[in-house]
C-alpha cells in the first residue's frame, strides 16, 4: 500500500474516534454537572477545566476565552474551528483524509463521514445543540457508531482495514488513559471524603466517559471503587476500551500488516517491538503495583509510549515527505498537546 494511503486511512480513523470521544466526554460532564449541582448547590468549574487539561489545549483555550465555564468549554471542544481537536475540526480532517482515499474505502463509508461533516458545516448541528444538548451529543455518538459499523461491514478486511484499526485503537487507548488520569490526578475529592456521594458519581462518570458503566457492573457486581475502576479500564482483556484490549488489538493489526507471526517475541519493525513490549508490561503488571508506583505516573508513561508507537508507525509506513512542492499537493497538520499527547497529523492532497 502507498504511504499516502496508509497515512490517510490511519488518520481518517483516528480523527473520527477522537470526535466521538470528545462528544461522549462532554455529554457525561453535562450530566455530572446537573447531578453535582443538586448535591452541592453549585457547579464545579474544575470539572470543566479538567476536559481542557485532558486534551492539553490549555494555551489555545486561554487565548480564545476569558474564563472556564460549561458554555466556553463546550464551544471550544465542539464548534471552535481554531481548535484542531474540536469535534468540527476532527470531522473536517477525517473527511479530507477520506476524500484522498476514496478508492480504498467503501461508498457507504464516504457518505457517512460526509454526512457527519455537513451536519456541522450547514449549521444544523448548532441548531440541534440549541434545542437539546442531550439529543445533540446523542446524534454524534450514534453517527460515529454507525461509521464504525459501516466500516467493519463494507470495507475489505485487508491491509487498508488494518491501518484503520491502528488509528482507532491508538486513539482509544490514549483517551482511556487520559480520562482515568484526569479524574485521579485533578479531581481528587476536595471537601468530600473518598467514597462519598460526589466521589462515587465522579468515578461513575469516568466509566460512562468510556462507555464502561454497564460492563463494569456486570463484571464486578458491586459498588464503584477507584481501584476496581482503574483495574477494569487498564487491564480488562475483553472490554473494547480498556488499555490492554486496545494495545493487544493494535499489536495484532501491526503483525498482520508486516506478516510477522505473533509470539516468540518476533518483530520486524520498531513499532512492533514497542507495542509488544507495552502489551507484555500491561499483561503482567498488577493494579497493586500501579497504585504503589502512582496511577498518574503510570498513565503518563502509557501516554508517552503510545506516542512513541504512533511515531514509529508513521516513520515505517506513512512517511511520504518526498512529495515535491510543485505537485499541486498540500499538507495539513494539527498538533494536539505536548510530549505526552499523541501526535496528531493529517496529510491530505488538495
Radius of gyration of the chain (CA): 20
pLDDT above 90 for 285: yes
Nearest residue to 74 (alpha-carbon basis) of 140, 169, 121, 118:
140
Distance CA 157, CA 159 (A): 7
Distance of alpha carbon 1 from the chain centroid: 25
Distance CA 147, CA 108 (A): 9
pLDDT above 50 for 197: yes
Q: Percent of the chain, pLDDT > 90?
A: 65
Which residue reads 497538520 in cell numbers?
333
pLDDT top residue among 191 and 350: 191
pLDDT above 60 for 347: no
- pLDDT band (50, 70, 90) for residue 331: very low
Least confident of 3-7, 51-55, 331-335: 331-335
- pLDDT band (50, 70, 90) for residue 196: low
- pLDDT band (50, 70, 90) for residue 128: very high
pLDDT above 50 for 192: no
List phi, psi (to 5°) of 194.
-60, 130
- pLDDT band (50, 70, 90) for residue 5: very high
The H-or-E segment that residue 16 falls in is helix 3-40
Question: pLDDT tens for residues 267-283?
Answer: 899 999 999 999 999 99
Question: pLDDT tens for residues 104-118?
Answer: 999 999 999 999 999
pLDDT above 80 for 257: yes
Mean pLDDT of all residues belonging to the chain: 85
The domain spans of the chain are: 1-154, 157-319
Distance CA 132, CA 147 (A): 23
Q: Tally Cβ neighbours within 10 Å of residue 209.
A: 28
DSSP helix/strand/coil, 332: strand
Distance CA 267, CA 276 (A): 8
pLDDT above 90 for 323: no
Distance CA 317, CA 309 (A): 12
Q: What is the pTM of this model?
A: 0.86
Bridge partners of 326, per DSSP, are none
Amino acid at each position: 500500500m502507498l504511504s499516502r494511503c496508509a497515512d490517510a486511512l490511519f488518520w481518517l480513523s483516528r480523527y473520527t474516534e477522537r470526535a466521538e470521544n470528545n462528544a461522549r466526554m462532554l455529554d457525561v460532564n453535562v450530566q455530572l454537572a446537573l447531578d453535582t449541582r443538586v448535591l452541592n448547590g453549585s457547579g464545579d468549574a474544575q470539572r470543566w477545566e479538567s476536559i481542557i487539561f485532558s486534551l492539553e489545549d490549555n494555551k489555545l483555550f486561554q487565548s480564545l476565552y476569558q474564563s472556564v465555564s460549561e458554555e466556553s468549554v463546550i464551544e471550544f471542544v465542539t464548534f471552535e474551528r481554531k481548535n484542531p481537536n474540536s469535534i468540527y475540526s476532527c470531522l473536517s480532517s477525517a473527511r479530507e483524509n477520506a476524500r484522498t482515499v476514496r478508492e480504498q474505502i467503501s461508498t457507504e463509508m464516504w457518505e457517512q463521514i460526509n454526512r457527519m461533516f455537513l451536519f456541522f458545516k450547514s449549521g444544523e448541528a448548532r441548531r440541534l445543540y440549541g434545542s437539546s444538548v442531550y439529543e445533540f451529543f446523542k446524534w454524534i455518538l450514534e453517527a460515529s457508531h454507525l461509521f464504525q459499523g459501516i466500516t467493519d461491514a463494507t470495507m475489505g478486511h485487508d491491509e487498508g482495514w488494518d491501518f484503520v484499526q491502528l488509528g482507532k485503537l491508538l486513539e482509544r487507548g490514549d483517551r482511556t488513559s487520559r480520562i482515568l488520569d484526569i479524574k485521579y490526578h485533578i479531581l481528587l475529592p476536595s471537601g468530600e471524603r473518598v467514597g462519598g456521594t460526589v466521589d462515587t458519581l465522579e468515578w461513575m462518570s469516568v466509566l460512562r466517559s468510556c462507555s464502561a458503566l454497564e460492563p463494569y457492573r456486570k463484571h464486578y457486581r458491586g459498588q464503584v471503587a477507584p481501584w476496581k475502576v482503574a483495574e477494569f479500564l487498564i487491564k480488562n482483556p475483553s472490554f473494547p476500551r480498556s488499555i490492554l484490549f486496545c494495545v493487544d488489538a493494535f499489536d495484532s493489526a501491526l503483525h498482520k500488516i508486516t506478516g510477522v507471526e505473533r509470539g516468540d517475541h518476533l518483530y520486524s519493525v520498531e513499532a512492533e517491538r514497542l507495542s509488544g513490549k507495552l502489551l507484555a508490561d500491561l499483561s503482567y503488571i498488577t493494579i497493586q503495583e500501579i497504585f504503589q508506583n502512582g496511577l498518574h505516573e503510570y498513565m503518563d508513561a502509557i501516554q508517552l509510549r503510545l506516542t512513541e508507537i504512533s511515531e514509529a508507525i508513521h516513520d515505517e509506513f506513512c512517511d511520504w515527505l518526498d512529495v515535491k512542492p510543485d505537485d499541486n499537493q498540500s499538507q495539513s497538520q494539527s498538533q494536539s498537546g505536548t510530549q505526552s499527547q499523541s501526535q496528531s497529523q493529517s496529510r491530505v492532497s488538495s
